[in-house]
Amino acid sequence: MLLDIRNLNVSYGGIKALRDVSISFEGKSIVSIIGANGAGKTTLLNAVMNIQPVVSGEVYFNGEKITGLPAHQLAAKGISLVPEGRMLFTHLTVLDNLVLGAYAFMKQLGKKDIEKRLGHVYELFPILKERTTQLAGTLSGGQQQMLAIGRALMSEPQLLMLDEPSMGLAPLLVKDILNVIKRLNEEGVSIFLIEQNARAALKLSHHAFVLESGVLVKSGSGAELLSDERVKKAYLGG
């Protein structure tokens, strides 16, 4: 198993945000979680990255227990999160944001490796190449999302987790972003996706889970869930 989440429980000041959530999947797949606002999707990703403390349960990555490891050590293990709200380094330039994305590997990487990784990001998002010296905070929403994904890719993660990458974007841009995700997966990156746009997410996914009020209620292949009556009714608008 690439990622193996076992019986995860997370609480926010007495309220249980996640209850006994167990999810596991093999590498090189696209896995998504759909669910309403407040179902605990973001909490789940944050708990995997250890920026959200867990009450009980474990997370294994490539068989290694990562629960309790400091968040800054996870990037070096091959997990990258594009967080909710993008969380760019707004006062730094686009280039600085990207280079810092590879920070976890700075000791191993030479200038050439960084250039190569930058080249890959620019190939996916050509607009970023034109904006290298611009401050990240001054980019448009779509460009900021591209930069957030680009920054996460600079560590060449084995597992890329994305928290609502289409949030607040125009439909055309959403399509672009989803295409990039698909392409990355074809290049061998495993994708763990949270999406409010359930239909798009399910179409893209090999496997998907439905999270309701902190509990996993359903799982199946993307196609199965797309045709599931209950899912249709709750998340696909009938």
Partner 1 sequence: MFTVFLQFLFSGLTTGAVYALVGLGFNIIYNATSIINLAQGEFVVVGGLLMWLFSESFKLPFLVSAVLTILVSGLLALLMERLTIKPLPKTDLLLMIMITVAVSILLRGLLMFKFGKNPYVYPPFTEGEPFIIAGAVIQQQTLWVIGITFSCIILIYLFFNRTLIGKAMRACAVNPTAAMLVGIDVEKMIMLSFVLSAMVGAIGGIAVTPISLMEYDKGPMLAVKGFCAAIMGGLGRGRGSVAGGFIIGILESMTAGYIHSGLKDAVALLILLAILFFKPAGIFGSKTALQMRRF
What are the residues binding partner 1 (CB under 8 A)? 49, 51, 70-76, 80-81, 83, 87-92, 96, 99-106, 137, 151-152, 154-155
Q: Two tokens at 136?
A: 């990240």
The phi, psi pair for 172, rounded to 5°, reads -65, -40
d(CA 197, CA 67): 29
- Amino acid present at 150: G
Rounded Cα distance, 57 and 132, in Å: 42
- Nearer residue to partner 1 within complex by CB, 57 or 150: 150
Looking at the Cβ atoms of 81 and 177, the one nearer to partner 1 is 81
Contacts of 229 (CB under 8 A, 6+ apart): none
Of 35 and 83, the one with the shorter C-beta distance to partner 1 is: 83
Task: Return the DSSP state at 40.
Answer: S
Q: How far is the CB of 237 from partner 1 (least distance, A)?
A: 33
Q: How far is the CB of 153 from partner 1 (least distance, A)?
A: 11
Nearest CB to partner 1, comparing residues 27 and 85: 85
CB-neighbour burial class of residue 206 (10 A; exposed 0-12, middle 13-18, buried 19+): middle
Nearer to partner 1, 19 or 105 (CB): 105
Tokens (6 digits) for 94: 């686009």
| Residue 79, H or E segment | strand 79-82
Whole-number minimum distance, CB 14 to partner 1, in Å? 18
